[in-house]
Amino acid sequence: MEAVLGHLRGAIERGEYAIGDKLPSEAELCRTLEVSRPVLREALRALQTMGLTVSRTGKGTFVVADAVEEPTFGDYAAGDLLEVRRHIEIPVAGYAAGRRTPQHLDRLTRLLDRMERETDTTAWAAMDTLFHLAVAEAAQNPVFRRVIEEIRDALARQSAFLNELGGRREQSDREHRAIVRALTDGSAPDAERAMAHHLDRVQNTLADIVRAGRTGTPAHGGPRS
């Protein structure tokens, strides 16, 4: 999927498909690129998330921009989503460290175990969202949970996007483990730092994906800690 996305994104950014152009049909692209329709559709969804194309029912996919400015996840731009997450999820982690019960910790641990075994990207992204909801529940303030619930769809879209294009899955699992360790220890400062680090890595990966088109380098071609 990354290779197909890279090809189509490159063609758009080089002007081979200009703004306003309609991309070839799915059948034609599948033949030309020698890929299956599910793989192609994943790449087309990613192009739309990046803001390069729009899909018009019954008409096809059209180019609307020639450079990635900021991905959009559902109703929310990536920058807006991250800004809110920093203001909500970092203090939530701190509250959760002081209020979590053994039941909360057990749920979080079992959820992480499932995530580390999961092989389906969509299922993993859904569980990623459940993890952040579970942290909010551990803070024992229903308003926090309601806020996370409101952005749940956007979180799942962002998670799948970063997993597919930024190689985030294993790193995210490790970051989640660090958050749960801090909650288990009951350390609010450690929990806040662990959540802040997690959100920093999300932001950095998003920036890498946007930058990749400008530099011509892979989004996750270099090592990360």
| Three-state secondary structure readout of 130-185 | HHHHHHHHHCCCHHHHHHHHHCHHHHHHHHHHHHHHHCCHHHHHHHHHHHHHHHHH
Residue 71 has φ and ψ, to the nearest 5°, of -60, 155
Q: Kindly write down the DSSP assignment for every residue of 32-72, as one continuous string.
A: HHT--HHHHHHHHHHHHHTTSEEEETTTEEEE--SS----E
The H or E element spanning position 30 is helix 26-33
Half-sphere exposure in the Cβ direction for 110 (13 Å, CA): 7
Q: What is the CATH number of domain 2-63?
A: 1.10.10.10
Q: Give domain limits for the chain.
A: 2-63, 74-211
Q: Do 74-211 and 2-63 fall under one CATH topology?
A: no
Q: Residue 214 has what pLDDT?
A: 53
What is residue 213's predicted lDDT score, i.e. its pLDDT? 54
Asked whether the beta carbons of 135 and 89 are under 8 A apart, the reply is yes
Separation of alpha carbons 130 and 127, rounded Å = 5
At residue 74, the 3 state secondary structure works out as coil
Whole-structure pTM value: 0.79
| CATH level 2 (architecture), domain 74-211 | Up-down Bundle (1.20)
What pLDDT is attached to residue 200?
A: 96
Per-residue pLDDT of the chain (225 residues; tens, 9 = 90+): 778 888 998 899 899 999 999 999 999 999 999 999 988 988 898 888 888 888 888 889 999 988 877 888 988 999 999 999 999 999 999 999 999 999 999 999 999 999 999 988 889 989 999 999 999 999 999 999 999 999 999 999 898 888 877 778 899 999 999 999 999 999 999 999 999 999 999 999 988 887 765 555 444 444 333
Count of positions (residues) in the chain: 225
